[in-house]
């Protein structure tokens, strides 16, 4: 069960009083044939869950590093269909849960029902679709209802308490807490407002809460992780892979990774 894999991962970490480290990569950056190697590298570094980005021509929430990675992937003719096919091929070799980070356009053009079937067959545990607000989630939710794929919702610094309660009401997998008012990318520090907001989301959520956007060091990951259940690191990891510096990824994880190596 794919939803269960996310739940089991968080429960295992909770038992050891640890926080989830979620790594983002752009599928097809460097060629789709690199995806198995990239996933293996992340597992060996000790990540707990992998967020696999789907390249899209108009990525409204992505900063320059991830935008450029998406362009490189598109130049390699990487498609959602190709990514799901590759994941089907290698799913038995992947030992951590993985979710897709995509925009709605590729999913819509793929076909919602076909997307649901192929994602389930590829062992996808969840989907993050930042341009689908809560009010427009019904079609996607309907398509995924017979799968074990979680729709992972986002909450931001400007999300009101009333709206947050609606987001949290039947949230699945985990809530993605956005730590900046803007796009992805490295950030030098966080205000008290960010930590207060993570605690606010935690107080209303029945599923784990993970912080993402702008996390570029183990120190930042540890600081934010103290107020939630895990952190998501993207731009830094994408840069490391692009610059052939993947050996640096382990140093981003704020714990003794040798004890958690997969």
Q: Render 83-120 in DSSP notation, one character per residue.
A: HHHHHHHHGGG--S-EEEE--HHHHHHH-HHHHHHHHH
pLDDT tens-place string over residues 192-221: 899 999 999 999 999 999 999 989 999 999
3-state secondary structure of 26: strand
* pLDDT value of position 257: 39
pLDDT tier at 58, thresholds 50, 70, 90: confident
* pLDDT value of position 41: 98
| Cβ neighbours around 203 below 10 Å, total | 11
Torsions phi, psi of 5, nearest 5? -65, -40
Find residue 51's DSSP bridge partners: 24, 99
pLDDT tier at 77, thresholds 50, 70, 90: very high
Residue ranges covered by each domain of the chain? 2-250
260: pLDDT strictly greater than 60: no
Q: Are 79 and 57 in contact (CB under 8 A)?
A: no
* pLDDT value of position 62: 76
Query: Taking Cα atoms as reference points, which of 150, 93, 161 lies closest to residue 124?
Result: 150
* pLDDT value of position 185: 45
Q: Are 3 and 150 in contact (CB under 8 A)?
A: yes
What's the topology of domain 2-250?
A: TIM Barrel (3.20.20)
User: If you average pLDDT over every residue of the chain, what do you get?
Assistant: 92
184: pLDDT strictly greater than 70: no
Q: List, in order, residues 6 or more apart from 20 with CB less than 8 Å away.
A: 9, 10, 13, 48, 49, 174, 208, 210, 229, 230, 231
183: pLDDT strictly greater than 50: no
The number of angstroms, rounded, from the C-alpha of 226 to the middle of its chain's C-alpha atoms is 19
The Cα 46–Cα 56 span in angstroms is 28
* pLDDT value of position 189: 64
Q: Model-level pTM?
A: 0.93
37 versus 188: the higher-pLDDT residue is: 37
The Cα 7–Cα 2 span in angstroms is 9
Query: Taking Cα atoms as reference points, which of 41, 53, 160 lies closest to residue 100?
Result: 53
Find residue 150's DSSP bridge partners: 126
88: pLDDT strictly greater than 60: yes
Across 117-126, average pLDDT: 98
Q: Are 28 and 3 in contact (CB under 8 A)?
A: no
255: pLDDT strictly greater than 90: no
Q: Which residues are catalytic?
A: 51, 62
- Rounded to a whole number, what is the distance in angstroms from the first to the last CA of the chain? 19
* pLDDT value of position 2: 54
pLDDT tens-place string over residues 17-30: 999 999 999 999 99
* pLDDT value of position 61: 67
Across 127-131, average pLDDT: 96
């Amino acid at each position: 069960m794919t939803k269960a894999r996310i739940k089991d991962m968080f429960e295992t970490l909770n038992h050891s009083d640890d926080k989830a480290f979620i790594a983002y990569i752009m599928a097809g950056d460097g060629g789709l044939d690199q995806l198995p190697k990239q996933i293996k590298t992340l597992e060996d570094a000790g990540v707990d869950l992998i967020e696999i980005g789907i390249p899209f021509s108009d990525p409204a929430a992505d900063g320059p590093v991830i935008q450029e990675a998406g362009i490189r992937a598109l130049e390699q003719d990487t498609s959602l269909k190709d990514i799901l096919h590759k994941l089907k091929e290698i799913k038995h070799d992947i030992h951590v849960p993985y979710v897709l980070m995509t925009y709605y356009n590729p999913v819509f053009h793929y076909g919602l029902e076909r997307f649901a079937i192929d994602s389930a067959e590829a062992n996808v545990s969840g989907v993050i679709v930042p341009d689908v607000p809560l009010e427009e989630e019904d079609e996607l939710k309907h398509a995924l209802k017979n799968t074990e794929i979680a729709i992972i919702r986002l909450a931001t610094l400007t999300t009101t308490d009333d709206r947050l309660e609606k987001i949290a009401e039947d949230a699945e997998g985990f809530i993605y807490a956005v730590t900046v008012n803007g796009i992805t990318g490295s950030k030098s520090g966080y205000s008290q407002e960010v930590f207060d907001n993570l605690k606010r989301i935690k107080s209303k959520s029945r599923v784990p809460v993970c912080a993402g956007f702008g996390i570029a060091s183990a120190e930042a990951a540890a600081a934010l992780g103290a107020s939630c259940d895990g952190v998501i690191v993207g731009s830094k990891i994408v840069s490391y892979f692009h610059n052939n510096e993947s050996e640096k990824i382990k140093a981003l994880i704020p714990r003794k990774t040798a004890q958690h190596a997969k």
